[in-house]
Copies of this chain bind each other. A is one copy, B any other.
């Protein structure tokens, strides 16, 4: 894959997207195109697209900046006018699968990104609150530079959650770093204090190309996942000398 582009096929759906920088929820300087030969009612396709975007391209953060000219299109030429081509549950499911894959690809190809971070906020009172906490963490330069440096810096993550505007309680929080295959997991923070974790094991998790960060807020049962990347020297080089 070349930088900032992704493509994906699944059943009678195809998708392609390009991004790179200026990526934050509510999309970005991004072009995304999903196409299908299924017949879908115009009203239905519009609602489906909004739900898909909300679960994919609106869950990614490269740098916290947003563009004024993002585009995500879902085109249906109506060629296959049959119930199998468009199923009211299966179609959104597969379309969301494609859109999520493309959204993650955009983050992986983010400007200067060296690391892919899956940020899961658990234990929130509602989804919106979980996303608010997640966005504060995902846009924090201190969090992003720590990941770039391979530093398992739980303090910066907890601090970013603390300034998210949500009245979080550190004493109720727990923070876990996990390998993307789920095999290795390490709890770094719980009950308001760091655990007696193994620093070298934590560093190994953070130094991998991708890592999953799970912050349980202990405030409820809702979750949200946000995909983001680190902030590197290359991001500065790319954007310091380029007229957009």
The stretch of A149-157, A179-187, A214-222 in contact with B is: A149-157
Across the interface, A151 reaches (CB within 8 A) one of B24, B235, B240, namely B240
Instruction: Give the interface SS of chain A, mostly helix, strand, loop or mixed.
Output: loop
- List A residues 122-164 near B (Cβ within 8 Å): 139-142, 145-146, 148-149, 151, 153, 155-156, 159-160, 162-163
The stretch of A49-57, A65-73, A74-82, A101-109 in contact with B is: A65-73
Task: Name the residue of chain B whose CB is nearest to the CB of A69.
Answer: B159
Number of interface residues, chain A, beta carbon within 8 A = 38
Q: Is the CB of B65 within 8 A of A146?
A: no
Q: Is A11 an interface residue (CB 8 A)?
A: no
Q: Is the CB of B236 within 8 A of A65?
A: no
Across the interface, A145 reaches (CB within 8 A) one of B155, B156, B239, namely B239
Q: Is the CB of B239 within 8 A of A141?
A: yes
Q: Is A26 an interface residue (CB 8 A)?
A: yes
Task: Name the residue of chain B whose CB is nearest to the CB of A238.
Answer: B145
Q: Is the CB of B142 within 8 A of A63?
A: yes
Q: Is the CB of A244 within 8 A of B139?
A: no
Across the interface, A65 reaches (CB within 8 A) one of B63, B68, B159, B239, namely B159
Task: Name the residue of chain B whose CB is nearest to the CB of A152.
Answer: B243
Evaluate whether A149 and B240 lie within 8 angstroms (CB atoms) in the complex, with A141-B231, A163-B26 already known: yes
Evaluate whether A239 and B142 lie within 8 angstroms (CB atoms) in the complex, with A156-B244, A244-B156 already known: yes
Q: Is the CB of A244 within 8 A of B26?
A: no
A232: B residues at CB distance < 8 A:
236, 240
Minimum CB–CB distance from A184 to chain B (whole Å) comes to 21
Could you jot down 13 A-B contacts, CB within 8 Å? A22-B159, A65-B159, A65-B160, A67-B159, A142-B244, A145-B236, A145-B239, A145-B240, A146-B240, A149-B240, A149-B241, A151-B240, A233-B236
* Known interface pairs A63-B142, A64-B140, A156-B244; 14 further A-B residue pairs with C-beta atoms within 8 A, sorted by A's residue number: A22-B142, A26-B163, A65-B140, A65-B142, A65-B160, A68-B162, A68-B163, A141-B239, A145-B235, A145-B236, A148-B236, A151-B240, A153-B244, A235-B236
